[in-house]
Amino acid sequence: MKENNSSSYNIESDDKSSSRKSDHIELAFQSAVAKDQLNNRFNYEPMFSGHGQDTDLSINFLGKELKCPIWISSMTGGTEKAKVINKNLAKICGKFGMGMGLGSCRQLLFDDSRIHEFDIRDELNNQPFYANLGIAQIEKLLQEKEEYRIDDLLKTLSADGLIIHINPLQEWMQPEGDRYKIAPIETINMLLQKAEYPIVVKEVGQGFGPRSIKELLKLPIKALDLAGFGGTNFSKLELLRSDKIRYNAFKEVYNLGHSCEEMLEIINNLYLNEGEDLSCKQIIFSGGIRNFLDGYYFISKSKMKSIYAQASGFLKYATDYESLLDHVECQIEGLKMANSFLTIKN
């Protein structure tokens, strides 16, 4: 039924013509859309491009060349299933020239018996590959003067740098969660004075408010990964792990935070009005990115160099390499299509 081979269109023979025509008649009523389904973010301009199959999507990001502006957000480790997931994700990054962050590598700081679940550098070729730790662990390591463990971790993994996740609401909602003793901005400042590797800072699904964004962008971090509200929500997830009384008492908490849309405005205004005070000028739009259209929207509208990222969007396919491959091919094809025919409505 689906014949999508436009590149081999032949004006003289069209073998599929008869079955296509019958499909059209059969599916015409099903294909009707309601007016309120219109995606109002874009102008659709069909007049000024070919199909753009060969569009170059490459971008230099975090000091490396990505073949497309897509990042796989930090996800899991610490289970046997994670080994398959991480390996598939790494392979796909290597194949399509994307970058990825590991899930929290906390377990590896003191014991490398699970290193095989994270040992994926070879699959990635030379694509950007970042280890991941929570700010609570960084605070403790600094306190104990054991920050050398982070250098060891990066060396063991052959990682290009470190992603630090800031997740106070998740920690608060997590039954066994950590508590920070000092402000994350101070911890990051302290680490930056000692670290010789690139650092990226992210949330885990609530995003950052304007003051946090401004202070983070003033620091010499390499990129800010927004991990905004609207997708996977770890405050909610942790509450789902707790008892009913606690769930009911705190359930409004998981609706706190900032969407990518809101943070985009904050960041663009900062760039326009205080750009010269900012040290970090690379953004990863993530958190609730549903597909390439969302991604294209944010990176097109961003005044700063940016890419987009998904976690759950990749997780859905990550245990089966062939499905993952098809999924990523669709994302890249979609980005090329968007580049060819869509501009942003202001």
> Under the rule (CB under 6 A), what is the footprint of ligand FMN?
73-76, 103-104, 132, 165, 202, 204-205, 227, 231-232, 286-289, 310-313, 315
As measured in angstroms, the least distance from the Cβ of 290 to ligand FMN is 9
As measured in angstroms, the least distance from the Cβ of 49 to ligand FMN is 29
As measured in angstroms, the least distance from the Cβ of 102 to ligand FMN is 8
- Which CB sits closer to ligand FMN, 55 or 312? 312
As measured in angstroms, the least distance from the Cβ of 192 to ligand FMN is 18
As measured in angstroms, the least distance from the Cβ of 134 to ligand FMN is 7
- Which CB sits closer to ligand FMN, 116 or 290? 290
CA distance 297 to 77: 31
- Which CB sits closer to ligand FMN, 123 or 238? 238
Q: Kindly tell me the sign of the dihedral angle through the C-alpha atoms of 67, 70, 74, 77.
A: negative
As measured in angstroms, the least distance from the Cβ of 313 to ligand FMN is 5
Contact 283, 226 (CB under 8 A): yes
Identify the three-state secondary structure at position 343: strand
- Which CB sits closer to ligand FMN, 137 or 302? 137
CA distance 115 to 249: 39
Residues 6+ apart with CB under 8 A from 93: 72, 99, 100, 123, 124, 127, 129
Residue 68: exposed, middle, or buried by beta-carbon count in 10 A (0-12, 13-18, 19+)?
A: buried
- Please give the full DSSP string across 121-149, using - where no structure is assigned: GGGGTTS-EEEEEEHHHHHHHHHTT-THH
As measured in angstroms, the least distance from the Cβ of 233 to ligand FMN is 8
Ranges of beta strands (E only) in the chain are 42-44, 59-61, 64-66, 70-72, 99-101, 129-134, 161-165, 199-202, 223-225, 282-285, 305-310, 342-344
- Which CB sits closer to ligand FMN, 123 or 294? 294
- Which CB sits closer to ligand FMN, 268 or 312? 312
When CB distances to ligand FMN are compared, the closest residue is 231
Identify the three-state secondary structure at position 258: coil
- Which CB sits closer to ligand FMN, 94 or 313? 313
In the DSSP assignment, the letter for residue 193 is H
